[in-house]
Amino acid sequence: MGNRIAIENLENFDFSDIFGCGQCFRFNQTGEGEFEGVAYGKYLSVSQKGNKIFLDASPEDFFGIWRDYFDVGRDYKKIFETLRRDETLKRASDFCPGIRILKQEPFECLISFIISQNNNIPRIKKIIESLCENFGDKIDCGKKACFSFPKAEKIAGLDLRELDAIRSGFRAKYILDAAKKVASGEIDLDSIWKMGVGEGAGYLKRIKGVGDKVSACALLFAYNKLEAFPVDVWIKKVLAKYYGDMDYMGIFGEYAGIANAYLFYYEREKGAGGS
Instruction: Give the contacts of 145 (CB within 8 A, at least 6 positions apart).
Output: 133, 138
Which sign does the torsion angle of CA 55, 58, 63, 69 carry?
negative
Which residues sit opposite 7 in a β-bridge? 53
Predicted confidence at residue 59, as pLDDT, reads 93
User: What is the DSSP code (8-state) at residue 150?
Assistant: P
* Helix residue ranges per DSSP H, the chain: 15-20, 59-61, 67-69, 76-83, 87-95, 106-115, 121-135, 152-156, 160-163, 171-184, 197-204, 212-221, 233-238, 248-252, 256-269
Task: Divide the 275 residues of the chain into consecutive groups of 10 and give the mean pLDDT of each group.
Answer: 87 96 96 96 95 94 97 96 95 96 98 95 96 95 88 97 95 98 98 97 97 98 97 91 93 96 92 47
Predicted confidence at residue 274, as pLDDT, reads 40
Question: Does 213 participate in catalysis according to the annotation?
Answer: yes
SS3 32: coil
Predicted confidence at residue 144, as pLDDT, reads 80
N residues, the chain: 275
Predicted confidence at residue 273, as pLDDT, reads 47
Q: Can you tell me the distance from the alpha carbon of 54 to that of 72, in angstroms, rounded to the nearest whole number?
A: 13
Select from 22, 213, 45 the least CA-distant residue to 120. 22
**Angle at Cα 36 formed by Cα 77 and Cα 149, nearest 5°?**
100
Say if residues 184 and 152 touch (Cβ distance below 8 Å). no
Find the catalytic residue in 126, 205, 213, 270.
213
Domains and CATH numbers, the chain: 5-95 (3.30.310.260), 106-188 (1.10.340.30)
Select from 135, 104, 136, 138 the least CA-distant residue to 22. 104
Q: Can you tell me the distance from the alpha carbon of 12 to that of 9, in angstroms, rounded to the nearest whole number?
A: 9
Q: Cα separations (Å) of 144 from 43, 132, 140?
A: 11, 14, 8
**Computed over its alpha carbons, how large is the radius of gyration of the chain?**
18
